[in-house]
Amino acid sequence: MAGKVRNFFAAGHTARGYYSLFNSVLAGLDRLYFLIGGPCTGQSTIIKQIGDTMSSRGYDIERLHCASDDASVDGVIVPELKLGVVDGSAVRTVEPQAPGAIEEYVNIGVAWDLNQLRKQKEHIRTRNKQMTKTFQQAYKTFADALRIHDEWEKIYIDNLDPVKANNLAHRVIEQMFSDKALTKPSHVRHMFLGAATPKGPVDFVQNLTEEMNKRYFIKGRPGSGKSSMLKKVAAAAKERGFDAEIYHCGFDPHSLDMVLLPELKTAIFDSTAPHEHFPEREGDEVIDMYAHAIAPGTDETHATQIHDIRERYSAKMRQATSCLSQAKELWDQLDAIYRHATDFAKLKEIQTGIQAEIDAFAAEQATV
């Protein structure tokens, strides 16, 4: 029987630039392969196929999707083995803990025909420069959108009753935890449930929450206290010794979008655009922040201002998405150059070698 597959992002293109949570996502692994070799060298294909192989053998896996192309992956983790395989060019900021003992660096670039690439060096250099410039423009535009979003939030913050918001958060936390507490340290992990991609926002809420018995859907407006409630839930879990998966906002990673509590089979998440979902099964519950904590009539009183803000915000988000789409086109052009210069038989040998090492490692773990 195939293992379960969980999908999420470990990094994203945000209003605060390229934002990576790989340090948290990869923490605690005993074996970690970094595939090195620059862009367009087949890392995603190798990672996907290794993940599919492990899943077919009954291992649960985690797929770390690429925000630049959500159909590609930046990594795969096999939690049972505490093992991961990741694209070294995507990780960027992860500091090795024990090179050779934990981390192994695999050079994918050995499959290149360097003579072919040298003939294309000006094309490669030009497209890389254009791609960097396009990503920077996307980040600037997302930052502009965030400033507009702050205007939107201010309307509701000014009309928020903090006592009611705090009381609601307290009731939710009491309902979740009651008097339960565990006599162990809480293990906290940070990641993204979704990301801004070249085709628009993508999220994996349904996949990530499919095994949760209880799901809280937080509804509301910008600035109505959704992220604040999630931060309070995360803090309560840590205080009580419960493990928590904390999912940051793919637009502004300083905010939160979801908290999963695996030991309680409970999820609580911001269920508004661009990751709006609705109750569909037993155990689903809506928490309406607007109804509970915002002054009645706020929408109507500020309707004209809100409409103007929403239009300006949407225009900036469309512009930023267009930049990501342009970057993807440049990436595809680079990919074509590198594919033409790649010996795929060598790539397959590399993949087979990694898989053989993983199999040996899994066999060792089974005897421990």
Tokens of 218: 């937080």
Q: Is the pTM value of this prediction over 0.85?
A: yes
Q: What pLDDT score does 98 carry? A: 75
Q: What is the mean pLDDT of each run of 10 residues along the chain (368 residues)?
A: 96 97 96 84 91 98 96 96 93 72 90 95 96 98 98 98 98 96 97 98 98 98 98 98 98 98 98 97 97 98 98 98 97 92 94 97 88
Q: What pLDDT score does 93 carry? A: 66
Q: What pLDDT score does 298 carry? A: 98
Task: Tell me the residue type at 102.
Answer: I
Classify residue 164 by burial, with Cβ atoms within 10 Å: 0-12, 13-18, 19+. middle
* Gap between the Cα atoms of 235 and 241, Å rounded: 10
Q: What pLDDT score does 99 carry? A: 74
The residues, any chain, with a CB within 8 Å of residue 56's CB and separated by 6 or more, are: 2
* Gap between the Cα atoms of 87 and 261, Å rounded: 28
- Scan for tokens 């979801």, then name that residue: 258
Task: Tell me the residue type at 351.
Answer: Q
Q: What pLDDT score does 92 carry? A: 67
Length of the chain: 368
> Are β-strands 200-203 and 256-261 bridged in parallel, bridged antiparallel, or unpaired?
unpaired
Q: What pLDDT score does 27 carry? A: 95
Task: Tell me the residue type at 41.
Answer: T
What element of type H or E holds 42? none
